[in-house]
Amino acid sequence: MKALKLTKRRIVILVIFVLAAILVAYIAKSKIPQPPESVQNVTELDDYLEALVNSGSPPGLSMVIVKNDSIVYNKGFGWADGPRKIKATPETVYHWWSITKIPTAMAILQLQEQGKLQLDDAVSKYLPFFEVKYPADKSSTITIRHLLNHSSGIPDASGLKLVKWIHHDTEPALDQTALIKQKFSDYLTLQFEPGEDTAYTNIGYMLLGAIIEKISEQSYRDYIRQNILEPLEMKQTDFIYTSDMEAVEAAGSHPSISLMSPLLRIMMGSYIRETSNNSLWLERVYTDQEPPSALIGSTLDASRLVRAYLNKGTLDGNRILSEESIERMTNDDHVAQAKDEGTYFFRRGIGWHIFKEKNGYKLEHTGGGPGFFTIMQIYPSDNLGLVMFCNDVTLEKYGWKILQLGANLNWE
């Protein structure tokens, strides 16, 4: 009976602890200024972003806006690294996390333009280890196109597992093809018939990285460097922190008081550098799985990718994609979720998430992982693009609203 009472007591203590953590997290969250419905001018946009970083969540951010191939807004706010007194600027480098999928998709389209693959090729044509459990005997074969628009049915790794797939700055990078070959046995059973639904999966983009390596006979890193980063002169973007990045490096952070903080301390304790100003500041983090998530760079560099996209695949005389490939990424191969009843337009295309706006499509991709949140939007019909990188994850739910403030201003 004594042991039973002790168990109940522990349960009560645990419940009280969880409720207290929820209350503290709610109070902390309520201090973050929510985006207004609109801003009337750049000054009001600046004032809001300044108030946002002054709240401490995020400690710092950088934003760039491109209109008609010109940078019309390019600023940093708050601290790239608070304890080290490094301010956030347009040159500050952040983890891109999942926005890396856009260059990965571009690389696949480049290889198609070179005649080295077709989007409707079976994945198994290039990856002999690729065998899955289809829902039926007559299921459609998974193709490269299915991987690009997340319609393969391949499940994703859980968030907890993805957090484990990281390593320290001092540890070597992993062979990307060997990594997915090793991990793929846990993701063989499809969630749905290929092409009949869409569900976001990092595993699919790990497979695309392996296809890039197979066809190009290069590492994924080297292919992206030579065929996207270098032609676009994205000199402050890479898969590692280069010596040139050190002076402008954002440190990832996380609120020290939140529901996730205890879990972060347990799972990533060795990555916590210090606690300061109500934030856990992180050491450098590298992801094991590079094709979905590994790029690091500045918003200013990212704007060069946006400009090339809006210029139908070319920038400063250097072409990275054909007009046909840009058209395909923008307007073709959109897949809706099977449960979509049309009340809210959301599709997944090649690389992008697709939303319907009054003047056409809005293309968007976000990224989130230990210490960072990022978001990129392109409005092709308005020749407008926006990028915002932050050094914590608190803007995940309404980062799009912040970019919408900038998108709705008159940049003519």
At 102, the amino acid letter reads: I
Q: Residue 340 — pLDDT band, cuts 50, 70, 90?
A: confident
Q: What is the pLDDT of residues 244-265, one digit of tens each?
A: 999 999 999 998 877 667 767 7
Q: Which amino acid appears at position 355 of this protein?
A: F
Backbone angles phi, psi at 372, to 5 degrees: -145, 150
Tokens 């003519």 belong to residue: 412
Q: Is residue 14 part of a domain?
A: no
φ/ψ bin of 353: left (φ > 0), alpha (ψ from -120 to 50), beta (otherwise): beta
18 falls within a domain: no
Contact 373, 394 (CB under 8 A): yes
Give the predicted TM-score (pTM) of the model.
Answer: 0.92
Is residue 13 included in any domain, yes or no? no
The two three-digit tokens of residue 284, written as one number? 């450098």
Q: Which two tokens stand for residue 286?
A: 């590298």
Radius of gyration of the chain (CA): 22
Indicate the number of domains in the chain. Answer: 1
CATH number, domain of 166, equals 3.40.710.10
- Compute CA 317 distance to the chain's CA centroid, rounded to the nearest angstrom: 28
C-beta separation of 278 from 255 below 8 A: yes
Sign of CA dihedral 203, 206, 208, 214: negative
Structure tokens at 74: 């390019």
In a domain, 218, yes or no: yes
Assess if residue 133 is contained within a domain.
Answer: yes
CA–CA distance, 393 with 395 (Å, rounded to integer): 6
Q: Which domain holds residue 312?
A: 31-407
8 Å CB contact between 91 and 298? yes
Which of 92-101, 212-221, 268-277, 388-397 comes out lowest in average pLDDT? 268-277
CB count within 10 Å of CB 174 equals 17
Mean pLDDT over residues 379-400, rounded?
A: 96
- Tell me whether residue 315 is in a domain: yes
Q: Are 149 and 352 in contact (CB under 8 A)?
A: no
Using pLDDT thresholds of 50, 70 and 90, give the confidence band for residue 358. confident
pLDDT at 20: 52
Q: For 182-234, write each residue's pLDDT tens digit.
A: 999 999 999 999 999 999 999 999 999 999 999 999 999 999 999 999 999 99
Is 122 part of a structural domain of the chain?
A: yes
Please, are residues 117 and 108 in contact by the beta-carbon 8 Å criterion? Answer: yes
Confidence tier at 154 by pLDDT (50, 70, 90):
very high
17, with CB counted inside 10 A (0-12, 13-18, 19+), is exposed
CA-nearest of 349, 305, 287 to 98 is 287
Q: Report if residue 25 sits inside a domain.
A: no
**Tens of pLDDT along 69-105?**
999 999 999 999 999 999 999 999 999 999 999 999 9
Q: How many CA atoms lie within 13 A of 190 on its CB side?
A: 26
Comparing 19 with 115, which gets the higher pLDDT? Answer: 115
